[in-house]
Amino acid sequence: MPARRGFRWDQGNSRLEVQVDGTIAARFDDTGAYLTVPAGGITVTAGDLTVTAGDAHVVAENLYMGAETAFASTEPTSAVVFKTGTAPAGAIVTSSAVFANDTVLRKIIADGTVSSVG
Partner 1 sequence: MLETLLLTGQIPEIHWEHGDDLCDCTFQRIGYWTNPYLARTLKIRLCCAWKVLAEQNPEIAALMQEIPAYDDHNGKRWVSEPAAWNAKDHDMPRALWHRQLSIQQDKPLEQVRREYDHLEPPRRVRHGNTAKV
Q: Which residues are near partner 1 by CB under 8 A? A: 62, 64, 68-76, 81, 89-91, 103-104, 106, 111-116, 118
Q: Given the complex with partner 1, which of 56 and 89 has the nearer CB atom?
A: 89
Q: What's the residue count for the chain?
A: 118
Nearest approach in angstroms of CB 113 to partner 1 is 4
Q: How many CA atoms lie within 13 A of 23 on its CB side?
A: 7
Please measure the distance between the N-terminal and C-terminal CA atoms of the chain and give it in whole angstroms.
61
Long-range contacts of 78-81 (CB under 8 A, 24+ apart): none
Q: Given the complex with partner 1, which of 10 and 75 has the nearer CB atom?
A: 75
Nearest approach in angstroms of CB 64 to partner 1 is 8
Q: Given the complex with partner 1, which of 50 and 86 has the nearer CB atom?
A: 86
Instruction: Give the integer Cα–Cα distance in Å for 13 and 43.
Output: 27
Nearest approach in angstroms of CB 83 to partner 1 is 9
From the list 95, 97, 69, 63, the residue with the least C-alpha distance to 84 is: 69
Nearest approach in angstroms of CB 102 to partner 1 is 8
Q: Given the complex with partner 1, which of 26 and 81 has the nearer CB atom?
A: 81
